[in-house]
Amino acid sequence: MKTYRKELWFEVATRRAFINITPDVQVCIDESGIREGLVLINAMHITASVFINDDESGLHRDYDVWLEKLAPHEPVSQYRHNRGEDNADAHMKRQIMGRESVIAITGGKLDFGTWEQIFYGEFDGRRKKRVLVKIIGE
Ligand code: ZN
């Protein structure tokens, strides 16, 4: 069995963003030389997510509005976590959108369902953050 590990780094200029990282993950698979296996992609921060869904800007706007209703950023004083920081909402948004995705690799490609793409979800940006890509297989 072969293994592969890489960190992808992001520095988003805004507090929140969704970034399609599918091409970056495919590059990792190509570099690994693994044709049959599994790829795990996880955010290495507790205020960011990795998730799979459609690359459609309306949907991403809908996610942002929905998450902001569930866990509004303002007023920051509404959260106990925000003693000395202001990112309690980002922890909650990450919890809803998830920590990681696992995808089958078949014939050296991501074995997706229809319209599936991989996204990095940032909820407390404006600093450097990383995503782990771990691949196992042969
Ligand atoms: Zn925090």
Per-residue pLDDT band at 85 (split at 50, 70, 90): very high
Token pair listed for 129: 């953050």
**Mean pLDDT, range 62-82, rounded to an integer:** 98
**Mean pLDDT, range 130-138, rounded to an integer:** 98
Amino acid in position 23:
P
* Domains (range + CATH), the chain: 2-137 (2.60.120.460)
Each residue's pLDDT tens digit, 104-118: 999 999 999 999 999
Q: How far is the CA of 34 from the centre of ligand 1 (A)?
A: 37
Q: Give Cβ neighbours of residue 69 (< 8 Å, ≥ 6 apart).
A: none
pLDDT given at position 40: 99
**Residue 61 CA: distances (Å) to CA of 21, 75, 91:** 18, 21, 19
Query: Which residues does residue 120 pair with via DSSP β-bridges, in sequence order?
Result: 19, 50
Q: How far is the CA of 92 from the centre of ligand 1 (A)?
A: 10
pLDDT given at position 115: 98
Cis peptide bond N-terminal to 23, omega within 30:
no
Phi, psi of 86 (to 5 degrees): -135, 25
**Residue 87 CA: distances (Å) to CA of 11, 51, 90:** 17, 20, 5
Q: Which residues surround ligand 1, an ion (CB under 5 A)?
A: 85, 87
Q: How far is the CA of 36 from the centre of ligand 1 (A)?
A: 38
Question: Beta 117-122 vs 48-53: how paired, if at all?
Answer: antiparallel
pLDDT given at position 38: 98
pLDDT given at position 42: 98
Per-residue pLDDT band at 35 (split at 50, 70, 90): very high
**Mean pLDDT, range 2-6, rounded to an integer:** 98
135 contacts 28 by C-beta, under 8 angstroms: yes
Rg (CA), the chain: 16
Rounded to an integer, what distance in angstroms lies between the CA atom of residue 128 and that of residue 91?
Answer: 17
pLDDT given at position 8: 98
